[in-house]
């Protein structure tokens, strides 16, 4: 017993020493999405604030493709030393069902560091789409669903998930049009090449305010400060419809607990940085509250979201492999 206790004490002491020296060189955060999109923007703002607190440069590496699984797998395979991290959203959970041949076990592959934000979604359409409200939209789509196109940023993207949830809740089957990123979706929606989309408010607020697209609802419980006249989906008639796209910071499994804790402390402090708060506000999102920006909450959220989305994806039969 004494030998076991001594060994444990030595491991803890070694971990503390590593954490004291960490970070000794730049950190890479892998973002498994295209540059310029909502997740990329949230990641860069977060990395900038954390970099100031940790005293080291944080480099964002965009590794898109295969619904985020290529970039995610890159982090899973990385050395668990705190120098290669992952920022991703709810797509990390849904990939566990969307991809039946996933090369890693999502629930077991990470050391969660904390949640960053809940990004609201907006249900939008081309500016000349006939329905003007959500109450008008749903009956309008009945009987026309197969002819109505809904664009998304690719399998596993937040827009894809929101579209699936919308179709599940309304019992409609729209024609899904996948793109490679959020920008081409918005370009075609503004250009009236597609009918609808459901994307993060970080990407849609500008076009909505500029009346380039028609907005029906925001998918969170409360209205957005940046779009105060836009009702929630629940207010607009789609009772119980709620989707906030959480983003979280993760390290590979096996990362020393002392390093995870140091990163968690830096993340929580970064989320209170006035510059980050202001920049998040400008893209229609808010930093996660301190009680939710923890490793424990991130771990529970990841697991619960896998369970939440599995039956929706299976019912839709929309697999990526």
Q: How many residues does the structure list for the chain? A: 321
* 135 & 102 share domain: no
Q: What is the CATH number of the domain that holds 284?
A: 3.40.190.150
* 52 & 64 share domain: yes
Q: What is the mean pLDDT of residues 40-53?
A: 96
Which residue would you say has higher pLDDT here, 167 or 34?
167
* 179 & 266 share domain: no
* 17 has a pLDDT exceeding 80: no
Q: Residue 125: inside a domain, yes or no?
A: yes
User: What are the tens digits of pLDDT across the range 90-113?
Assistant: 999 999 999 999 999 999 999 999
Q: Where are the beta strands (DSSP E) in the chain?
A: 27-31, 58-62, 84-89, 110-126, 149-152, 175-178, 196-200, 213-218, 244-252
* 11 & 21 share domain: yes
Q: How confident is the model at residue 155 (pLDDT cuts 50, 70, 90)?
A: confident
206 Cβ neighbours under 8 A, 6+ residues apart:
none
Question: Of 229, 233, 213, which is closest to residue 221 (Cα–Cα)?
Answer: 233
pLDDT value at position 315? 86
Q: String of b and e for 155-168 (b: at least 16 CB within 10 Å)?
A: bbbbbbbbbbbbbe
Domain extent, residue 100, equals 2-119+246-316
Alpha helix stretches (DSSP H) within 271-321: 274-282, 295-316
Q: At which of 198, 218, 238 does a domain end?
A: 218
> Chain-wide mean pLDDT for the chain?
92
User: What are the tens digits of pLDDT across the range 51-93?
Assistant: 999 999 999 999 988 889 999 999 999 999 999 999 999 999 9
* 295 & 264 share domain: yes
Share of the chain above pLDDT 90, in %: 79
* 50 & 26 share domain: yes
Is pTM beyond 0.75? Reply is yes
DSSP state of 66: G
* 200 & 278 share domain: no
Q: How confident is the model at residue 8 (pLDDT cuts 50, 70, 90)?
A: very low
């Amino acid at each position: 017993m004494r030998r076991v206790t001594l060994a444990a004490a030595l491991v803890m002491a070694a971990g503390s020493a590593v954490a004291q020296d960490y970070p000794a060189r730049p950190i890479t955060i892998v973002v498994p999405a295209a540059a310029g999109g909502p997740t990329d923007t949230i990641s860069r703002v977060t990395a900038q604030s954390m970099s100031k607190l940790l005293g080291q440069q944080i480099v964002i590496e965009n590794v898109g493709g295969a619904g985020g699984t290529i970039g995610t797998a890159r982090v899973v395979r990385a050395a668990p030393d705190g120098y290669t991290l992952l920022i991703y959203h709810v797509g990390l959970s849904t990939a566990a069902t969307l991809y039946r041949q996933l090369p890693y076990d999502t629930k077991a592959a990470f050391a969660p560091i904390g949640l960053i934000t809940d990004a609201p979604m907006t249900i939008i359409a081309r500016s000349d789409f006939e329905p003007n409200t959500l109450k008008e939209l749903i009956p309008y789509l009945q009987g026309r669903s197969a002819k109505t196109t809904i664009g998304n940023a690719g399998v596993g993207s937040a827009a894809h998930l929101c579209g699936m949830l919308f179709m599940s809740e309304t019992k409609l089957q729209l024609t899904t049009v996948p793109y490679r990123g959020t920008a081409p979706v918005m370009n075609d929606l503004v250009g009236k090449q597609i009918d609808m989309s459901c994307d993060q408010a970080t990407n849609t607020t500008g076009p909505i305010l500029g009346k380039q697209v028609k907005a029906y609802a925001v998918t969170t419980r409360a209205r957005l400060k940046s779009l105060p006249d836009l009702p929630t989906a629940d207010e607009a008639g789609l009772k119980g419809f709620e989707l906030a796209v959480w983003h979280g910071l993760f390290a590979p499994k096996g990362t020393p607990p002392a390093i995870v804790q140091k990163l968690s402390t830096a993340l929580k402090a970064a989320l209170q940085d006035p510059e980050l708060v202001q920049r998040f506000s400008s893209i229609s999102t808010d930093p996660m509250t301190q009680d939710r920006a923890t490793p424990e909450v991130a771990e529970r959220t990841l697991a619960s979201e896998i369970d939440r989305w599995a039956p929706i994806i299976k019912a839709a039969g929309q697999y990526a492999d």
